[in-house]
Amino acid sequence: MTRSLIQLFCLRKRTEHQKLQKYRSALPYELVEKILVNAWCSIGDAPSRWHFFRVIAILSKVWRDVLHEVVLRYAFIETMVDFIAYERLLLRYDPCARYVSIVLNAVDHTRFRVDEIAKYVPEARFMCLAITMDRRYYFDAILQNLLAKTESLTHLRICWPPLRDSFACPLSSVVISSVTHLHIARHPPASLGSILASFPNVTHFRLGTPCFLKNLVPYMSTVRVLILDAPPQYIMHTVSQAPALVFPSSVPLWNICDALEHGLLKSTASYPGRIIMNAGKFDADKSMIADIALSCQKHGVAFECRRRYPPLWQPSHLDPRRWDHDAWS
């Protein structure tokens, strides 16, 4: 009896030792998670993304479990393939996406609707939203059926397609009070005021398309950091069939000095404003930027110019650096 107990004890100790050795030889959870997050978020197309998902699920149970957590947290709903895949996943798991990238692809109500997407991302904090159709009243539907239902949303990036025809978003009665960081990469003409009116608590505002900033002053009372994309070449689409207008520099198109005179980012000692300009890598517009810096200094607004864009850069409906938090500061 005693001998049997000793053998059983030794067997148990040997089994525990083997498990411990296996655990010690495995990568730390945090490292596995980081590898999978980087891989998952760097895959650009839906078929490749879900092929990667299936391969990992077959190769390793440990990595599969971690990947499930990553996929549910970083949700890409950019094609019908993505939508169906998440539909299947959420039959077994609760929705818990914090980072969401959505392409409202054709938005023709025969594929998937914004209210259906909203059910899958109720806890989203960061959302990249690409609108690929220039329907006049569609933005109001997005506000009501998607953004208003994600009460935890704080960071939002929106991009419309290049629009040639006259198009404007009507003013909406829907207010999204949770969003504090707003990035509008491309917008319909004459629409920024009505768009901003739906986000009254924005403190960090990034714009990718030049506009008359002085017209936005009434909607920017809470904005403290304004980030402007000013690539070395800017292409403006006009009416249908007409050739696009090409500007060798987009810096003067922002009319920053005029906007400051009209009260843009009015600063106080305890509540300073800041403008960050993401310009071209070469300093061909050096004198214009020097004038902006002097004007900002005069009005008590901090100014920083970051040289980052190569020639011919244009905003994309999907930013490859979707979850780069440094883009907001």
End-to-end CA gap in the chain: 71
Asked if residue 215 and residue 172 are part of one domain, the reply reads no
Give the global pTM. Answer: 0.83
- What pLDDT, on the 0 to 100 scale, is given for residue 78? 87
- What pLDDT, on the 0 to 100 scale, is given for residue 27? 75
Asked if residue 184 and residue 143 are part of one domain, the reply reads yes
Give the Cα separation of 270 and 272 in Å (integer): 6
Place of tokens 């329907």: 135
Asked if residue 235 and residue 192 are part of one domain, the reply reads no
107, 78 in Cβ contact below 8 A? no
Backbone angles phi and psi of 235, in degrees to 5: -110, 125
Place of tokens 């490749």: 48
CA 48 to chain centre: 21
What CA–CA distances, in Å, run from 70 to 39, 82, 97? 10, 15, 9
Asked if residue 279 and residue 224 are part of one domain, the reply reads yes
Structural domain harbouring 42: 27-96
Looking at the domain assignment, is residue 327 inside a domain?
A: no
Looking at the domain assignment, is residue 14 inside a domain?
A: no
Q: Which of 24, 5, 1 is nearest to 13 (CA)?
A: 5
Which DSSP category does 123 fall into? T
Asked if residue 83 and residue 57 are part of one domain, the reply reads yes
Looking at the domain assignment, is residue 113 inside a domain?
A: yes
Asked if residue 111 and residue 92 are part of one domain, the reply reads no
279, 285 in Cβ contact below 8 A? yes
Asked if residue 223 and residue 181 are part of one domain, the reply reads no
Looking at the domain assignment, is residue 153 inside a domain?
A: yes
Asked if residue 164 and residue 239 are part of one domain, the reply reads no
pLDDT tens digits in sequence order for the chain, 329 residues long:
445 544 444 445 455 444 434 434 367 888 888 999 999 988 888 899 999 999 988 888 888 889 999 999 999 988 888 888 998 999 999 989 999 998 876 444 445 577 888 888 989 999 998 887 766 667 888 888 899 999 999 999 998 877 655 567 788 889 999 999 999 988 876 788 889 999 999 999 999 888 889 999 999 999 999 999 887 766 666 555 556 666 667 788 888 999 999 999 887 767 789 999 988 777 677 888 899 999 999 999 999 988 877 766 666 666 666 666 666 65
Asked if residue 295 and residue 270 are part of one domain, the reply reads yes
Asked if residue 307 and residue 211 are part of one domain, the reply reads yes
Looking at the domain assignment, is residue 19 inside a domain?
A: no
- What pLDDT, on the 0 to 100 scale, is given for residue 303? 93
Number of domains in the chain: 3
Looking at the domain assignment, is residue 4 inside a domain?
A: no
Asked if residue 280 and residue 231 are part of one domain, the reply reads yes
Question: What residue ranges in 91-250 does DSSP mark as E strands?
Answer: 99-104, 126-131, 155-159, 181-186, 204-207, 225-230, 234-236, 245-247
- What pLDDT, on the 0 to 100 scale, is given for residue 272? 81
- What pLDDT, on the 0 to 100 scale, is given for residue 296? 93
Asked if residue 302 and residue 242 are part of one domain, the reply reads yes
Looking at the domain assignment, is residue 133 inside a domain?
A: yes
Looking at the domain assignment, is residue 117 inside a domain?
A: yes
